[in-house]
Structure 1
Amino acid sequence: METEGSVNEAIKLKVILNDNRIEKVILPSQPDSLNELISTLKEKLHLKFHFTRSNIKQARRAEGNFLPNFPQGEDEASLEKQRLEMMVHEMMKENRDLPLINQHMQKTFALRRQEIVQSSPTVEHLRTRWPALFLEAQVHAEFQRITNHSLQQTFYSALDHHTPRLLTLFREEEGKSTTHGGKFSSILRVYNEQVMGELSNPGILDGVSILSVMGQHNEVVGGMPIRPAHVSIVLEDKIVMTNSSSWPDALVVVFGLLYSLHLNYPKALGSTFEFMQKVFLNLDDGKLKPKRLALKYELLA
């Protein structure tokens, strides 16, 4: 049996008994002990068999469904009051006190995680209740609160490390493909032309990854400009952010939003985001489906 959520905080549980039976249980109050939780679940679900602690999985830090404890001396009501009086009010100002916003986002983290993980609210609902969560700085801060890792630093370090091998694999795959032949070479050609145009400015490419394009040319590859004027992020048919000036930065922010808001990855990019999550960022259990696992082994070869 597996439950999702925190035994200490959550009162809404998902109990996975087998592949064909998943039950949702709402407890009236928090159990005083794990044994009490087990007894309550057996009674509510009419279970005849016995299970032990080894059958129960608690969410840990760095997992998307992690639920932290409330700060000492605080409860749901006091944190909700702070959310209303401080953060929402501050976000309405033209000149926002960003350090103050960050301070209160940190303090109300547990309340926010409880709401997001247990209730799965819509993005629009979250934008109304937690507008600061859609500031780019807070996307990165929230990810670090959940995982204790820097999203940008971890991703770009992994990208820099894996890029040489990725380029080799892409070229090999392009040579085998009958449908995508030449597309990757076209992208690299435009990239190289734009980068070469910037070499007269020494040092401009220092620390720039293969995906960060520095040129100002407007050539389009496959109908998409390599260097956009700006990038808007759309979630659930709503534009939620418009401030990224490069595809890599926008990709990192999108991932941070999806992970922090506990959203499913878009179907068309599910494999990409899962690989980014479990290989580049080394998050959660690291389990991959066969094709992604094969790519991981190729990457590490």
Structure 2
Amino acid sequence: MRKHDKNPTRSQCLTVSRKIVSQYPKSFADMLGDKQVGGGYESVLSQLKVRIEHLNRTNTLSHHRIQRSDTGTTRKRSSTDSYGCTRWQPDLPPRETYDSLEVKRQKMEEMHLHEGISGAERGDVCKLMEETYWLQRHMINATPSPTIADIKTKWPYLFTQRHIYGHFEQLTDKKVLRCLELSIQECGQIIIKFFKSKPTNDDIRSILSRGENDVDAMVIQLLLAHFKEKLDGVFLQADEFATPSDVQHSLNLPESPRLIFLGQSLSNQRWMLSLEGQVVCEGAQPNFITGLAALFASFYNFNLQYQEEAACTLEFVQRRFVDINPERGSKAKKGKVTSKKTGQVVQKKNATVSPPVSSLLRKLADFEWNFV
């Protein structure tokens, strides 16, 4: 490939990867058990791009990934930051400069001052958000990492439901809301029937006995219960008439992302998203799946790790519902964690796929085969 082009584009590598996997699926296709992951070519594509970037170490791509700290020592960004992303640090768009994109950013900042958050739906704002994607990533990927408050000051529209989804799509090539809707519609009932046939603990029996009508909410609660993860590890609840200020004063919001539902249930309720202990987004559509999509996208948009309290559930959502299955790395926390079995602090083993997640995926695949 490099005899024809020293730095092939991702789309060119994608074409080659598809042909490789099509011709040699048993050797190169991505599989989880007997199930092909996504198009089956993501791993080959990743390896091609990594190899090309390694051979082109003097190009701009490597400069984006290696920066110098104030002390002059070289510091690399964590692989967790770019995990699952296809355009984590893109090249500067043609005919654009940092200054020209900064002018566009300031224009949106001015719009926000006059129109507030409602301006996010304007067609010209949507166009400007797409055009300034490079500048958004430039700030988010900076070393040291900016705070969420700093990013929100510069990019207020990035914290609206529409543009959380839009940024995630540019970053990963995935329509997060559509992926979740279709995947849970496709396999939600199978997951519920699986746990009805094989309830793995009392929490699962309790959830099933409530007979909740919202399949989306029930599926996520069952996953949390199966992995022995608490509901408040990812969801919080507040008074149905609470404002963002009320929520921040009444709840002890953690640093890691939380989806806050305003009301007694998780279904058809207003929701808010919190990051770094502050409410950053109010949902425009009051239902469970739109909130879950915004929560999940935030981990990728802002280079965040999955919190230990819900890491397995979030990884399951990533792999089974959103279809992000990188060959290496993980969004889960590394190092020492608290064991769910003993409650003691233990050294977490590095694994591309969490063993509990891998086990459940395999069991569901077997059950689905028998169910069909």
Question: Would you say same fold, with TM above 0.5?
Answer: yes
- Structure 1 residues 159, 173: CA separation in 2 closer, same or farther (over 3 Å shift)? same
| Partners of 2:86 and 2:173 within 8 A in 1 | no
2:90 match: 68
- Structure 1 residues 68, 270: CA separation in 2 closer, same or farther (over 3 Å shift)? same
Q: Aligned equivalents of 1:68 and 1:13: distance in 2? A: 11
Q: Aligned equivalents of 2:109 and 2:90: distance in 1? A: 22
AA matched with 1:8: T
| Partners of 1:140 and 1:151 within 8 A in 2 | yes
Q: Aligned equivalents of 1:226 and 1:13: distance in 2? A: 40
Match runs of 1:1-301 below 5 Å: 8-9=60-61, 11=63, 13=65, 25-26=67-68, 63=85, 66-84=88-106, 86-94=107-115, 96=119, 98-119=122-143, 120-174=145-199, 176-177=200-201, 179-180=202-203, 182-188=205-211, 190-191=212-213, 210-211=215-216, 224-227=264-267, 229-243=269-283, 244-285=285-326, 287-301=352-366
| Partners of 1:62 and 1:284 within 8 A in 2 | yes
| Partners of 1:233 and 1:240 within 8 A in 2 | yes
Give, in angstroms, the shift of residue 150 of structure 1. 1.3
| Partners of 2:164 and 2:301 within 8 A in 1 | yes
TM-score, structure 2 normalization: 0.55
| Partners of 2:82 and 2:88 within 8 A in 1 | yes
1:82-137 deviation line (CA, Å, top 9, x unaligned): 211x1111122226361111111111101111221233321111110110101111
Q: Aligned equivalents of 2:146 and 2:87: distance in 1? A: 14
> Rg: which structure is higher?
1
Cα RMSD after superposing both structures: 3.5
1:51 match: none
Q: Aligned equivalents of 1:12 and 1:71: distance in 2? A: 15
**Percent identical across equivalent pairs?**
19
Q: Where do 5+ consecutive residues of structure 1 fail to align?
A: 15-24, 28-40, 46-56, 192-208
Q: Aligned equivalents of 2:181 and 2:216: distance in 1? A: 10
AA matched with 1:71: P
2:343 match: none
Q: Aligned equivalents of 1:135 and 1:226: distance in 2? A: 20
Partner of 2:289: helix, strand, or coil?
helix
Give, in angstroms, the shift of residue 212 of structure 1. 6.6
Give, in angstroms, the shift of residue 182 of structure 1. 3.1
Give, in angstroms, the shift of residue 284 of structure 1. 4.4
Q: Aligned equivalents of 2:198 and 2:87: distance in 1? A: 36
Give, in angstroms, the shift of residue 187 of structure 1. 3.1
1:206 match: none
1:158-215 deviation line (CA, Å, top 9, x unaligned): 11122122112222443x42x4263122332x42xxxxxxxxxxxxxxxxx72279xx
| Partners of 1:67 and 1:114 within 8 A in 2 | yes
Kindly tell me the number of residue pairs found equivalent between the two proteins. 235
- Structure 1 residues 62, 104: CA separation in 2 closer, same or farther (over 3 Å shift)? farther
Which portions of structure 1, spanning 4 or more consecutive aligned residues, are displaced by more than 6 angstroms?
A: 2-6
Q: Where do 5+ consecutive residues of structure 2 fail to align?
A: 1-49, 219-239, 241-262, 328-351, 367-372
Give, in angstroms, the shift of residue 65 of structure 1. 6.9
Q: Aligned equivalents of 1:263 and 1:60: distance in 2? A: 10
- Structure 1 residues 136, 91: CA separation in 2 closer, same or farther (over 3 Å shift)? same
Partner of 2:216: helix, strand, or coil?
coil
| Partners of 1:63 and 1:284 within 8 A in 2 | no
